[in-house]
Amino acid sequence: MADQDSRAGERYATAQILEYAARIHHPPDPSLERAFEAPRRHGMPEIQVGPSEGRLLELLLRLAGAHKVVEVGTLAGYSALWIARALPPHGRLWTIEADRDHAAVAQEVFEDAGLRDRVTLIHGDAAEVLPGLAAEGPFCTVFLDADKGRYDVYGRWATANLRPGGLLIGDNAYLFGRLLEESEEARAMRRFHEEMAKSYRSVCVPTPDGLALGIRLDPSP
């Protein structure tokens, strides 16, 4: 159930409640903990998804029976690790990272976790890389967690290359509270939302910065 305050945006999650829920629902895991700490150790931006969002990604992919996944925005590989663990033995994740140093750290994370055989890490600009990946599709899931001003571009590629029933997931869908601003970045993010709503059964889950989630509709007549 919900009340009027929670519908208006009130949150009842204290630091203590969040700590308890995390401890109960995803107990300590050395590989994931090392991956989560990798940005701090290597002087990278600490902008990876949180453990709860990572677990949510894993569960969504398992529920969808995903086996071919594309991730835009690898960083140090933390979210990719959650995704790779959700895949069956024959599954494959293609993850794209624009920063060469970040990609090198992520590769170490995948090797440490013993999941290198399920992950293809591609260094490059996603807008240039994605067209070349189309031949590997159709895909089961596309997860976006990269430059927010091109979510509309990435979302259109996903719509063209996801199977019917496939998932499109976009993190930071509230754009750090700037979604309704009149900036190029905010307009691109709003286009992402609006175009998703036309081609997917969709929702924006009210995580701290919003998680847009859509199931691809069948485009055939």
Q: What local confidence, expressed as pLDDT, does residue 70 receive?
A: 98
How many residues does the structure list for the chain?
221
Q: How far is CA 123 from each of CA 96, 127, 130, 178, rounded to the nearest angstrom? A: 6, 12, 11, 29
In a domain, 5, yes or no: no
Residues 200 and 212: beta-carbon distance below 8 Å: no
Q: How confident is the model at residue 11 (pLDDT cuts 50, 70, 90)?
A: confident
Q: Residue 139: in which H helix or E strand, if any?
A: strand 139-144
Residue 208 lies in a domain: yes
CB-based burial of residue 160 (10 Å sphere; 0-12 exposed, 13-18 middle, 19+ buried)? middle
5-to-18, 178, 205, 206 alpha-carbon distances in Å:
19, 22, 17, 14
Q: Which amino acid is at 10?
A: E
Count the Cβ atoms, other than its own, within 10 Å of residue 206. 14
Query: What are phi and psi for residue 90, nearest 5 degrees?
Result: -90, 0
Inter-helix orientation angle 126-133/151-161, to 10°: 0
Nearest of 60, 43, 70 to residue 144 by alpha carbon:
70
Overall domain count for the chain? 1
Mean pLDDT of 63-69: 97
- The stretch 44-65 carries a mean pLDDT of 93
Whether 1 is covered by a domain: the verdict is: no
Q: Where are the beta strands (DSSP E) in 79-118?
A: 92-97
Task: Report the pLDDT value the prediction gives residue 208, as an integer from 0 to 100.
Answer: 87
User: Residues of the chain with pLDDT > 70: what percent?
Assistant: 98
Q: What is the extent of the structural domain holding 127?
A: 13-216
Q: Could you tell me if residue 101 is inside a domain? A: yes
Residue 122 belongs to domain with CATH number? 3.40.50.150
Cα 180 to Cα 149: distance, rounded to the nearest angstrom: 13
pTM over 0.75: yes
7 lies in some domain: no
> Does residue 185 fall inside a structural domain?
yes
pLDDT computed for residue 4 by the predictor: 78
- The conformation of residue 163, written as its DSSP 8-state character, comes to E
Q: Report pLDDT digits (tens) over 155-164.
A: 999 999 999 9
Lowest mean pLDDT among 103-112, 156-165, 195-204: 103-112
Q: Which two tokens stand for residue 143?
A: 């997860």
- Would 2 be classed as within a structural domain? no
Residue at 8 is within a domain: no
